[in-house]
Structure 1
């Protein structure tokens, strides 16, 4: 009777690839996060999951893994302090990128959109301490402040245009 083949780390299984790209100390981890935003053929994408490529996000997967194993959430993985794509989107929206209490934001003179972590709640009673501090600081500097999921913004930067253009 023939043994069933199993995909292990040496054979490039998707799970091993996902861990390799983002876990500290694993080969290729540091480089991959600079070249892969949500998913790519080197980490999560395969022919078998082609219909779900838009849903795959290695950063969010690792955030969920941390939470399910009882570890604190590493928000910096999903909330970059500097990223060229945020600068490019802000420029295209005739606004400026900034960081408010560790949270990326897109601002105009009166309006501020805080780009929040996908797992943060939007209701003030459930704000994360970092989120609360960012909202309070933004409200002190701008007339209008809105929270927007950074993952949704990454996929569709124009989604905040209506809010930024209000006067």
Structure 2
């Protein structure tokens, strides 16, 4: 995405889209690196956060590796802690976060295209927003599946 933007940047018009409203682009800003690379910067930040969350998910001690509670207070505290059921579940959660990040990146591509197109027009094709939202929502599916499988694994372990 950053390479694509760097290649397109010299040929961009003097004004770039700053806001997309229901009727198309309704605010413009002067051409600049900050304005041109907003989608890249947002996605870079999202990548840092989701990669960090994925790394932390694999470092959490899973429930099946915790020692048995010694008294009722430690049992209540353990029950309130949201831990993965097992190491496999933790890796599944981490993998789902990375897949969500990749699909979010794909969701930013139509916005980059809109930001970096050379004709200065307020018209926005009808497919841009539904396409972007679909990719972002598809990114939630693997996370939901990982959570559902983790809850099922916890129920099985309790039984």
TM more than 0.5: no
Which structure has more helix as a fraction of its residues?
2
Which structure has more strand as a fraction of its residues?
1
TM class, shorter-length: under 0.3
